[in-house]
Structure 1
Amino acid sequence: MAATIGGTIRVDVSGGDFAGVYTGDFAYDDTYLTKAGSESMSINGRGSRTRPGLLSFNFRFLDFVTGLTPVTYTVNDVDNFPNAPVLLFENGIPTQFALQVFSESGNDAFGFLDPKAFFFALQNGTNGGDGIVTLKITEPTTEPTPVPENSSPFASLLAFLGLGGVHLWRKSKKAN
């Protein structure tokens, strides 16, 4: 059964002036996944063995010029959109993103690369660093609706007797 699945992105940058935790989110439709072996998914599904189904990518990181202001980067900011970003899976579990985002000057960028690595360059390419990427599926927040059950055997007995009474009443009415 196909489902829209959401997840979170966490990048831990451990050193330098830009050390910290940077986060984001993503969503995909698993309709075309076989959930066997290595698979990949993009917005449009173009490319060798890449399936369609990526619905969104949002990542909150620093602006390229100052490295101070948080900016939310989306799929539209990714280099080679709509063929990228690419979400990679192993046996139906998302393992990493493959994407790059460049500044207008081309001197600054960040990228999610293999294996689960994050690299960046800011402030006209003079500062940079790296981090570790963790993807996590978001658990559903709604609980399944319970199926109503009979409140007691006594209620079932009353319902049965009531139906029997209606049947006898109709039968006696036809006889008259």
Structure 2
Amino acid sequence: MNIKYGLTAILGTYLISTFGGDPAMAATIGGTIRVDVTKGSFAGVYRGDFAYDDTHLTKVGSEFMTINGGGNGIIPGLLSMNFRFLDFATGLNPVTYTASDVDGFPDYPLLYLENGIPTQFALQIFSASGNDGLMFGDPRSFNFALRNGTIGGDGIVSLEITEPTTEPTSVPENASPFASLLAFLGLGAAHLWRKSKKANK
């Protein structure tokens, strides 16, 4: 490879990376779900976890996220939701409920964020009979019915962000017109130099 051509190519790459703007950082964020039930036979702490991709978040004001997104400003990005609670039939055996168990999946569960911070979920899961179920509602409430709807209770939901589950990925923004022009001129100069070299032979 010709040294001049190589230097020109390096210069063009440098200009694009220098003037192309700051990279947009996107990450997969993990979080935990905690539900405190303080009264009744089923009092205790129940836990779960969730993960989402923050690519489409503006992190300004109220935002709503589901798995596939949707109308009315609901954005995509929710990756998973798991919650360990009791089985509906007996209320004795722990069961892990996932996003695919949620009524209305994949339009639900819905994750609510305020200024980029997850604050609560909206979801409901019913048994086959429809008499038993659990629900996450507003404001950060948890309700459940077990044993064919004969026993129920409520609690408070808390969400907490953990460390990102993956390293942030740098997604370069489109280069500015100025940087593109400089890169184009650099490549053009290399082409003219090679053409003049052939003509001199």
State the TM-score, normalized to the length of structure 1: 0.79
1:98-147 deviations in whole A, cap 9, x for unaligned? 0000001000010100000000000000000000000000125899xxxx
For the 8 Å contact 1:119–1:130, the answer to whether it is kept is: yes
| Higher RCO (CA < 8 A, seq sep 6+) | 2
Deviation at 1:7, TM superposition (A): 0.2
Distance across 2 between alignment mates of 1:94 and 1:36: 12
Question: Counterpart of 2:45?
Answer: 21
Q: Percent identity?
A: 74
Whichever structure has more helix as a proportion of its residues is 2
For residue 135 of structure 1, the aligned residue among 152, 156, 159 is 159
Q: Does the C-alpha gap of structure 1 residues 57 and 123 become closer, same or farther in structure 2, counting only changes over 3 Å?
A: same
1:44-84 deviations in whole A, cap 9, x for unaligned? 10232110000000000000000000000001100000000
Question: Counterpart of 2:58?
Answer: 34
Question: Counterpart of 1:45?
Answer: 69
Is 2:89 aligned against 1:65?
yes
Unaligned 5+ segments in structure 1 are: 144-176
For the 8 Å contact 1:47–1:83, the answer to whether it is kept is: no
Unaligned 5+ segments in structure 2 are: 1-24, 168-201
Question: Counterpart of 2:117?
Answer: 93
Provide the alpha-carbon RMSD of the alignment.
1.4
Number of matched pairs: 143
For residue 80 of structure 1, the aligned residue among 87, 104, 114 is 104
Distance across 2 between alignment mates of 1:141 and 1:17: 36
Q: Does the C-alpha gap of structure 1 residues 71 and 64 become closer, same or farther in structure 2, counting only changes over 3 Å?
A: same
> Deviation above 6 Å: which 4+ runs of structure 1?
none
State the TM-score, normalized to the length of structure 2: 0.69
Distance across 2 between alignment mates of 1:47 and 1:14: 37
